[in-house]
Amino acid sequence: MTSSRSVLFIAITLTLAAAVSLSLAGCETLKTSKPIIPLKDYERLIAGRLDANYVGTATCLSACHYHDKIKKDFDASTMGAQLSKKSGLPTVDCESCHGPGSLAVEGLTPEKVKEDALAGKLTACDYKTLIDIRNLPAQAQSLICLKCHTGNATFNLHNWNAGSHAVNDVSCSDCHKVHVGPDLKINPREIGRMCEKCHQDIQALFALPSHHPLPENRVFCNDCHDPHGALGNHLLKRGTVKDTCILCHAEKSGPFVFEHAETMEDCSTCHSPHGSVNTRLLNVQVPFLCLQCHAGHRTSAKASAEAKGAFYTRCTDCHSQIHGSDLPSAAGRRRFTQ
Amino acid sequence: MKKLIMQSLLAAMILAPSAFGQEKPGQPDAPPAEEITQEEHYAFPTMAPEVRLFGGYRIVGSSGSGRADQYEYLHSSPVFGGEARIFSFPHRFHLDLDFKDKKDYFGDISYAYEDMVLFRGVNRTLFHNLDAVKLIDLNTATSSPGVSVRDADTRYGVRFGMSNVFLRFKTHDFPFHVYVDGTLIDRSGTQQQRSLLGSGYYNNIVRDSQSRNIDMQTKNVVVGMNSHLGPVEVDISHGEARLEVNGDKVLFDSYAASGGLAPRAAGEYPHNLLPEFKGSSNTLKLHTSYTGGIVASATFSKIERDNRDSGVQADYFIGAGEVSWTASNQIAFFLKYRHKEIDLDAPRQVTITDRTNPANSYAYPVESPIASMTDTLSAVARLRPLSGVTLLAEYAYENVRRSVSFEWSVPPSTQKNSASVSANLRIIKGLNLKTSYTHKTIEDPAYNTDPNRSDEARVALTWTPRPQITTLLSYTVLSEKRTDMHFVDAPDARRRDVNRNGLLGSITFLPLKDLSVTASYSYFDNKARQDIVYHDENGAARVDPFVPFKDMAHAYGLNVAYLPCKAVSLSASASHTIGSGTFYPADPNLTSPVSVALFSETKTRETIYSASGEYRFRNGYAVGMEYRYSDFRDVLDNPYNDLSNGRAHVVLLTFSKKW
């Protein structure tokens, strides 16, 4: 197992080498991030009309959108604060996402907007000249966000690009409503309802008698899954099923003196995390669950009902440390009874 | 191999931008943007704080098993909470609180100062009503097998609290961040502890149940920093984890003397120890700009976990790399590689001592734990041949190599191959079809529940014939086959088949503008047939061939939401779930004088009704009511299984004011 150290060593060496070389190149170089290969097709989709010019947020928000909820919610959001240079934040404005707007407002005058407002109507701009965000491919929609969030502070997008949401055409705006402020963060108690719009088959499992308290809104999908991408399968928050489960069930994490072989590395060998007909989220009922891998105790047609009941009801009545134990059984063995 | 891939990936990430990062000539340039002058005109608005407070009372009535509403703290209590949003730039503050009881609340607080400080704290609790299994002695005249019930009529429940705190600092005008991410999980309450007493040998078996105090805390703290380093973004973090156990950390009980190969004197020995754990992790993450045609990311993580009671140590190393290449709008490729090493170091022997007589101390040998190395490689190709058509093809290969001693009946290596295809089709406007098919093969599966071969197909049809109607029909079928199961002393027991079906149908329609009705039905079944092995009275292994197991569930749901006017919102829902399961041994030794299946056969019915309504007055005041009724039934009334009937009513009355 020494190879892990050498890989880690190589990784750190290369990172430090990169950091040193970039430091020598100066901060200006550091600030210009460039993709390995320019993504021409998608870049064109999100660049907007090349014959249009930027007119500035004031034109949008001080005129047509000055009184609507879009502006109010946006003002209250993180990116709303970024409309003002005084915030000290990197500037984000309407045209950062919607593209240059000069063609959209061509022919409109403040007087006309004011006149319409007095008449109680909105002044329509030629929005068709803006980027048609709703009809962009999902990857291009995400790219509008990612062009800034590539340097995201929480690094939660680290596994986004090859993650199953990105691969399956889920875009940022499918979950994050930019104009529905005040925060882009999703209220934890609304996450379940949001996820079930696409994952109704999973939602249905939570109706089974044994389930994690997701319908009761006491745990949330993102307690176990990271929708932004993850190391493991099923967008699990940690690299493996076990590492995810032990976030809450740490007492079952081990290592123990007596391990239940490797099965403890994958809790789903015995448990269905979303829901089950059987108690304790078990895939199948005990004792059949255990009989799948282990031979049953001694019995015969002459054995009493009492003896059969003792050995074939719940294996965990006796083997109560089934997730692992530091103590041997009475016979000094790995039986998880003590 | 893995080293080569890791090195290639890292080299590509570090060096490639200089080779490929230049814009190609001839690419159309956008016209120079005009000087943006809106800053002179734009003023960040003054935003009045928004506050909503509520208070009320929660009335609870329950009878029977707490399973009826297993995640509800079944005691009446006053409730309060609210929401506050204060956006007084450069400060941003948000609070959301919902307090039902000290054992059941939710709080979410966040604060930001410009983009330099970001704080978020989420604190929540839930209460889980736990099962109390009734151990039954079918013949009290015999002492073994016997039953010792020390917790008759005890109700169990555990409060589970989870607190997350995230604090991040950013340098001004440059994306360098330092962060702390902490989690505290605490669990307290009582739960049933069942264990084996007597001598622990066949001739002296006593199944025991007693109450156990639970009080444990899991602490995880990660400190890290990340920054933008030109071609790559880098994140380095260090984590510390602890599990601390208070309460009944270990139980002691009297055991009878045992003979056999490892005789032990009668005495008070420890059992069901909850060990404490300590762990740490160091993680390095790198990725290129997300906006490239080729995006690469790599993760290296070294994790250590120690058992502080027994001294067992586990070391994990995880290396991961991903590359995505969007060749064009129509074609994209995704490549993932994962490497994981697990190395356990356990003591060679373990000692157990009689608490009443330390001279009775026994040392037993411990098997060498299993160490393993897993490499997983997956490749996905995405193709969009036509508008509204997306095709995906995926291949994955996994190789597990184990360092394993003969005591473990686990093969030294396992190889898994998986191929899948899926299609998302927009057949016509409003009609979408999603289909997928996965074929998997496993060579030398480690455990009997793993198949040699599995096939899974899924189809989902979404139809929106009119804007007021949305329907969904989805069906999943899985088939698994195994022909080389392994039981230690029964080489003839080799065969296992599994079939699963899942059906889901739902329809949502809006008969009125402000009225929505959703009806749903789902069906699941899980059928397994496999050779099972047991020992006869002489200790010889016997096989009951191809024993069927089946469980199934039907779930019905109905939801209605209605907004008759601006001031009133109403909703109601009903759900009814029926679940059942058993297995069917045929060997007379397992079915006479009673079938062993009798002791676990189940059929349950769970019904939940809920209704809620709110009336909002013009001056910001509102009154609301929620009602929930849950009924859980053990239809078979099987005294041997761990189910019992229960019923619960919860009424929540609230009064709120919004400013």
Assign 3-class secondary structure to B249-290: CCEEEEECCECCCCCECCEEEEECCCCCEEEEEEEEEEEECC
Looking at the complex, report in whole angstroms how far the Cα of residue A118 sits from the nearest Cα belonging to chain B: 22
ipTM for the predicted complex comes to 0.91
Mean pLDDT by 10 residues, chain B (659 residues): 49 42 39 45 73 97 92 95 88 92 94 88 95 90 92 95 95 88 96 93 91 97 92 93 96 92 92 96 93 89 96 96 90 95 94 95 92 96 92 97 85 96 94 97 95 97 95 98 94 96 97 95 97 94 97 97 96 97 96 94 96 95 97 93 92 96
Interface of B with A in 483-522 (CB under 8 A): 487-490, 496, 502, 504, 506, 520, 522
Vertex A228 angle, CA A222 and A230, to 5°: 85
Q: In this predicted model, what pLDDT tens digit does every residue of B206-254 receive, in sequence order?
A: 999 999 999 999 999 999 999 988 788 999 999 999 999 999 999 999 9
B249 phi and psi, to 5 degrees?
-70, -40
Cβ separation B274–A31 shorter than 8 A: no
> Which of B596, B602, B628, B650 is most worth mutating to test chain A (most A CB atoms within 10 A of its CB)?
B596
**Residue A18's CB: how many other CB atoms inside 10 A?**
20
Cβ separation A317–B640 shorter than 8 A: no
Q: Residue B532 and residue B535: Cα distance in Å, rounded?
A: 10
Looking at the complex, report in whole angstroms how far the Cα of residue B30 sits from the nearest Cα belonging to chain A: 5
* Interstrand relation of B361-365 and B371-383 (parallel, antiparallel or unpaired): unpaired
Is B10 part of the contact surface with chain A (CB cutoff 8 Å)?
yes
Interacting residues of B580 by C-beta distance below 8 A, sequence separation 6+: A277, B551, B552, B553, B602, B603, B604, B635
Residues of chain A with C-beta less than 8 angstroms from the C-beta of B579 = 208-209, 277
Cβ separation A262–B372 shorter than 8 A: yes
Nearest by CB to A295, which of B315, B402, B541? B541
Which amino acid is located at A84 in the chain?
S
The answer to whether residue A288 scores a pLDDT higher than 90 is yes
Is B355 part of the contact surface with chain A (CB cutoff 8 Å)?
no
Looking at the complex, report in whole angstroms how far the Cα of residue B359 sits from the nearest Cα belonging to chain A: 17
> Which of A315, A327, A336 is most worth mutating to test chain B (most B CB atoms within 10 A of its CB)?
A327
In chain A, the residue whose alpha carbon lies closest to the alpha carbon of B286 is A158
The end-to-end CA distance of chain B, in Å, is 63
Interface of B with A in 435-474 (CB under 8 A): 446-449, 460, 472, 474
Residues of chain A with C-beta less than 8 angstroms from the C-beta of B373 = 1
**Residue A298's CB: how many other CB atoms inside 10 A?**
17
Percent of chain A with pLDDT over 70: 81
Which has more pLDDT, A61 or B97?
B97
Q: Residue B182 and residue B204: Cα distance in Å, rounded?
A: 48
Which has more pLDDT, B221 or A49?
B221
Domain ranges of chain A: 34-185
- What is the band of A285 on the pLDDT scale with cuts at 50, 70, 90? very high
How many DSSP H helices and E strands does chain A contain? Answer: 16, 1
Cβ separation B533–A297 shorter than 8 A: no
Cβ separation A334–B367 shorter than 8 A: yes
Instruction: With residue A89 as reference, give the H or E element that holds it.
Output: none
Q: In this predicted model, what pLDDT tens digit does every residue of A248-265 receive, in sequence order?
A: 999 999 899 999 987 777
Looking at the complex, report in whole angstroms how far the Cα of residue A192 sits from the nearest Cα belonging to chain B: 15
Cβ separation A299–B136 shorter than 8 A: no
| Mean of pLDDT values over A295-318 | 94
Nearest by CB to A56, which of B37, B260, B317? B37
In chain A, the residue whose alpha carbon lies closest to the alpha carbon of B525 is A277
Residues of chain A with C-beta less than 8 angstroms from the C-beta of B27 = 38, 40
Is B174 part of the contact surface with chain A (CB cutoff 8 Å)?
yes
- Tell me what pLDDT residue A6 has: 62
In chain A, the residue whose alpha carbon lies closest to the alpha carbon of B253 is A338
* Interstrand relation of B568-583 and B541-565 (parallel, antiparallel or unpaired): antiparallel
> Which of B2, B14, B42 is most worth mutating to test chain A (most A CB atoms within 10 A of its CB)?
B42
Cβ separation B292–A36 shorter than 8 A: yes
| Mean of pLDDT values over A308-331 | 94
Interface of B with A in 383-442 (CB under 8 A): 384, 390, 392, 402, 408, 410, 424
Is B353 part of the contact surface with chain A (CB cutoff 8 Å)?
no
User: Position of tokens 């009133």?
Assistant: B568
Mean pLDDT score across all residues of chain A: 83
DSSP A251: G
Q: Residue A244 and residue B454: Cα distance in Å, rounded?
A: 25
Q: How many CB pairs under 8 A join A and B?
A: 586
Which has more pLDDT, A156 or B653?
B653
Residues of chain B with C-beta less than 8 angstroms from the C-beta of A201 = 460, 474, 476, 502, 504
Residues of chain A with C-beta less than 8 angstroms from the C-beta of B47 = 75-76
> Which of A1, A2, A3, A4 is most worth mutating to test chain B (most B CB atoms within 10 A of its CB)?
A4
- Tell me what pLDDT residue B507 has: 97
Cβ separation A327–B352 shorter than 8 A: yes
Does this model's pTM top 0.80? yes
Interface of B with A in 360-379 (CB under 8 A): 362, 364-367, 369-373
Q: In this predicted model, what pLDDT tens digit does every residue of A102-113 receive, in sequence order?
A: 898 888 877 787
- Tell me what pLDDT residue A62 has: 65
Q: Residue A169 and residue B409: Cα distance in Å, rounded?
A: 43
Nearest by CB to B447, which of A256, A293, A298? A293
- Tell me what pLDDT residue A261 has: 85
Percent of chain A with pLDDT over 90: 43
Cβ separation A255–B20 shorter than 8 A: no
Is B579 part of the contact surface with chain A (CB cutoff 8 Å)?
yes
- Tell me what pLDDT residue B9 has: 47
> Which of A66, A322, A326 is most worth mutating to test chain B (most B CB atoms within 10 A of its CB)?
A326
Is B607 part of the contact surface with chain A (CB cutoff 8 Å)?
no
Nearest by CB to A305, which of B27, B115, B594? B594
Cβ separation A255–B533 shorter than 8 A: no
- Tell me what pLDDT residue B89 has: 75
Instruction: With residue B159 as reference, give the H or E element that holds it.
Output: strand B156-170
Q: Residue B281 and residue B269: Cα distance in Å, rounded?
A: 35
- Tell me what pLDDT residue A56 has: 80
**The two three-digit tokens of residue B373, written as one number:** 């190395």
What is A100-138 written as a DSSP string? --TTTTTT--HHHHHHHHHTT-PPPP-GGGS--GGGS-H
Cβ separation A81–B476 shorter than 8 A: no
Interface of B with A in 225-264 (CB under 8 A): 226, 228-235, 241, 243, 245, 255, 258, 260-262, 264
Residues of chain A with C-beta less than 8 angstroms from the C-beta of B108 = 187-188
**Residue B356's CB: how many other CB atoms inside 10 A?**
12
Whole-Å CA distances, A318 to B74, B311, B528, B640: 30, 25, 25, 15
In chain A, the residue whose alpha carbon lies closest to the alpha carbon of B538 is A298
- Tell me what pLDDT residue B130 has: 93
